[in-house]
A and B are shown apart, each in its own frame.
Chain A
Amino acid sequence: MSMWMVDAFFWLVLPIAALEAARIIRLELKQERRTLGAAFAFGGAELVALCLCAATASPLFLAGVTAARVVLYYLREGNLGGRRPLKSALIAAGLLLLAWAGPIESFAQIVHVDIAPVWRHAILGLIGLTCVLTTLPVRIADEPKETLVAPLSLIAFARVILPLGSFEPEFVIVVPVVAAGMSLICALWLLSAGARANQFEPSTLVSEILICERGVILSFVWMGLASGIDLAEVGALFQWWAGALALLALEASLRRRPLPKPMAFFALAMTVSLPGTIGFVAEDLLAQGLLELRPYVAAAFMGVTAINAAALYLALVNIIVDLHAGETPFGSAPREASPSLMMLTTAALALAIGLAPSPFVDLATRAHTAVVHHPTPASHAAHG
């Protein structure tokens, strides 16, 4: 049994891993905590760790790399506070249980091995809880230490939860409904934060925006991936890409002072899936797919999309008003920063993929085939 699965899913994760690495390097340099070499070393280590996570077929190896990422996190942050160690522990526990209960040596074996329902539910619970923890907008202070779109949780979801979930008939109903509920909570949370923007420091509000938006995006990803509908599943994987780019653009523009308003509005446009950006393709595929078999989930998706966009705009508007009131004398010309390389890169990528999405949709389709189209237990039985 091969230890590696360098399939289309790996190639789907790779760009996001690179973005995460770039983000770590940028944060380290911005905060002036490290030298250039050390910042690149931490970024490179994150890239390698995520690539190994995406490429490995072994649950034990994945658990090991997950533990190694926690060590890297400790070396970088100097403490083990926050959500990441807890999430890593839950994923590692789920993977160890999978390796022991199966016994499973490769993720490709999951659909072929009859794991006892108790263990199956325990593994689904542990990794599912990680996904919930990743999604809900709790512990706003963690925001700079969190990843953009939780690549490890997605890998665990795709490699473990999806094949294990194919044994549970309720999976395709329960998970999308729970994800829809979580997305609504995140969007409402963002709406509340945006409406009460004048009660928070702008930097806290930006953290709120990013954490809530991350929650909305990840909820959509879980919703689509678990729906059991090919179109929605491809849309969910595309949404993951779109979300990463949008969050990176939001973070890069909203944290900059003076605020580069045009770029902040473009980041907003990316997040609300303006046609011509990558988000539109993802939203279109997800909505089309969900409506085929899950109209109620599709309706929730639409509603959350509307609330999320309005909330995000409201928050952005309040940041602009707030900053202006605090910094610039009334009536004077507003100050603006020029956009950074990170903003321009994400904007260019979002536009390029949004206007010519075909090769990227093909990659997402192949990645979807790699993680979802395992032979199901039912088809196994039929073949004898």
Chain B
Amino acid sequence: MIYWLTNVLASQPPLHVLTLVTLLSPAAGALVLILLSASGVRPSERWVAVVSGVTVSAAAVSSVLLAGFTMLRPDNQFHEVLWTMYSVGTYHLDVSIYVDPLSAMLTALGGCTIPVLARYSGRYLHREPGYLRFFALVGVASTGFFWFVLGGSLEMAFFGWELLGLSSALLVAFFWDRPQPVIASGRVFATYRVADIALLMSMVLLHHYAHDTSWPAVLGIGEEGAVVRIHTVAATVLGLAFLIAAMGKSALFPLTGYVLRAMEGPTTSSALFYGTLSIHCGVYLILRVEPLLENVPVARVAVVVVGLLTAITTAMSARVRADAKGALALASAGQAGLMIAEAGMGWTDFAMCHLLAHGLLRLAQFLRSPSWLEDAQTRRRHLGGGSHRSGAYLEQSLPAPIRDALYAAALSRFGIDAFVDRMFTRPLAALAHLVSRPRPRARQQDGQRIADTPVPLHGARARGDR
């Protein structure tokens, strides 16, 4: 009886239905909320929370079931082409899904955390003007996450990746009546865009070299006698492109700086993106293409080095952060760096467990961060007073001058952000300024034309500046 039930549940039709519910339910919720918003109808908070909660929870339940039922299959895998989106000549874009232990694990993580966040946000954002917008964007982000994780090919993963990135940037700008969050969202978007282009490049390169981007084919690339094989140089280029994409999404060295700016968003969206889901997408990508890196030592070393550098720099910077969310964001990036290093060293199972545990822990920490002081006092009271240290600090074993110098450097984040600006942003801004001069019709201020000087692209312009 159990054997029969297992076979039925793990067969193609139930999995097909669960897949569709997982992928389409949050999208439907987001669409309803967006249409309500566009039509000028202002539903009550209760209705918004119900629509969002029902659709997100349906996706969560079906995603957990999908992950569980797939694990009941003999090969622990489920791959299906849902439909062909378009075709030109021999080229075609298929909408497909692929579930294996890795994607099942991350799907289950998303399925467990998104409804919790939605429920928490319903109360946390009570009477916020952007209440409906927040839940619409959470729906878009959930859609993006499930498409990214369950997508059967790199194109489908890219589809989700971009949705996740845009919704993340828009949620950073949630309080868009203040300039700082809006400007911070610009930085987040620009960094994500670098990651997007790296992923798009790897998608196109994979088509070019392997003539296929479906995960089952990609996963076979590094193996002997696999379906598709590519030579080492091509695999190295591909591996580095994937690494750049992961660097942007998981805030790895040297692109870590944007997560601090991203903390301008509401705490719940910070928890969703920079504690639980989005920050792990880069790690997932590297874990997913790990078979490709198997025989590519250069890319593998680059992955490990980037991961360890991220872990070291962010750990030091997190120590000297004065704000709870900033410290948590840096700590998340540091853990993502460690996971990447683990993946680079081939410890994929360990990295998977690390990812799952870290996602759940960080969710709790982010959601408790508004009451951090109260929690600390409660904890101290229960421990009988006195100071409480949570762990060992290796740098304490260093001589005081070196330790102080390290802390001082960590305060400015080792100059990494300034270096990135000097190397990339400023030259680009200078080139843009050079190309576009002269500029007529400048704004007049007090009868004088404002000096034709460039505003730094990275600079936050305070209201008093203008």
Contact = CB atoms under 8 A, between A and B. Distances in A.
**A and B: interacting chains:** yes
Interface stretch (A1-9, A124-132, A154-162, A324-332): A324-332
B200 interface: yes
Contacts of B163: 274-276
Most B C-beta atoms less than 10 A away, residue of A137, A280, A285, A330: A280
A262 interface: yes
B24 to A, nearest CB: 11
Given A196-B455, A276-B163, A357 B85 contact: yes
A215 B160 CA distance: 29
Interface in A229-252: 230-231, 234
B93 A284 contact: yes
Contact of B182 (A291, A310, A321, A357): A321
A199 interface: yes
A330 B180 CA distance: 12
Interface stretch (A77-85, A114-122, A144-152, A186-194): A186-194
A173 interface: no
A111 interface: no
B368 interface: no
Interface in B168-200: 169-170, 173, 176-179, 182-183, 185-186, 189-190, 193-194, 196-197, 200
B155 interface: yes
B38 A339 contact: yes
Contacts of B443: 198-201
Contacts of B190: 310, 313-314
Contact of B177 (A263, A269, A328, A344): A328
A306 interface: yes
A261 B158 CA distance: 25
B441 interface: yes
B223 interface: no
A188 B162 contact: no
A303 B456 CA distance: 21
Contacts of A141: 441
Contact of A231 (B84, B91, B201, B457): B91
Given A189-B435, A285-B88, A309-B193, A199 B452 contact: yes
B435 A199 contact: no
Contact of B441 (A197, A200, A324): A200
A143 to B, nearest CB: 12
Q: How large is the interface on B (under 10, 10 to 19, 20 to 34, 35 or more residues)?
A: 35 or more
Contact of B457 (A265, A314, A320): A314
Contacts of A325: 179, 463, 466
Given A199-B452, A339-B38, A191 B85 contact: no
B454 A196 contact: yes
Interface string B448-464: 00101011110001010
Contacts, number: 170
B16 interface: no
Nearest to B429: A195
Interface string A166-204: 000000000000000000010011011101111111001
B250 to A, nearest CB: 18
Q: Is the interface of A mostly helix, strand, loop or mixed?
A: helix
Interface string A279-304: 01101110110011000001000110
B429 to A, nearest CB: 6
Q: How large is the interface on A (under 10, 10 to 19, 20 to 34, 35 or more residues)?
A: 35 or more
Nearest to A201: B443
Interface string B129-153: 1000100000000000000000000
B86 A262 contact: no
B434 to A, nearest CB: 8
Nearest to B84: A358
19 contacts: A188-B431, A189-B436, A192-B429, A196-B454, A198-B455, A262-B38, A274-B166, A281-B85, A287-B204, A291-B205, A313-B186, A317-B183, A317-B186, A322-B466, A325-B179, A328-B177, A334-B176, A338-B38, A344-B38
- In order of increasing CB-CB distance, the 3 nearest A-B pairs are A192-B432, A275-B159, A192-B436
Given A199-B443, A230-B89, A291-B207, 20 more contacts: A141-B441, A188-B436, A192-B432, A192-B435, A195-B455, A196-B439, A199-B455, A234-B88, A262-B37, A262-B38, A274-B166, A275-B163, A284-B93, A302-B200, A311-B432, A317-B186, A321-B461, A325-B179, A331-B177, A358-B85
Interface of B: 34, 37-38, 40, 84-89, 91, 93, 129, 133, 155, 158-160, 162-163, 166, 169-170, 173, 176-179, 182-183, 185-186, 189-190, 193-194, 196-197, 200-201, 204-205, 207-208, 428-429, 431-433, 435-436, 439, 441-443, 450, 452, 454-457, 461, 463, 465-466
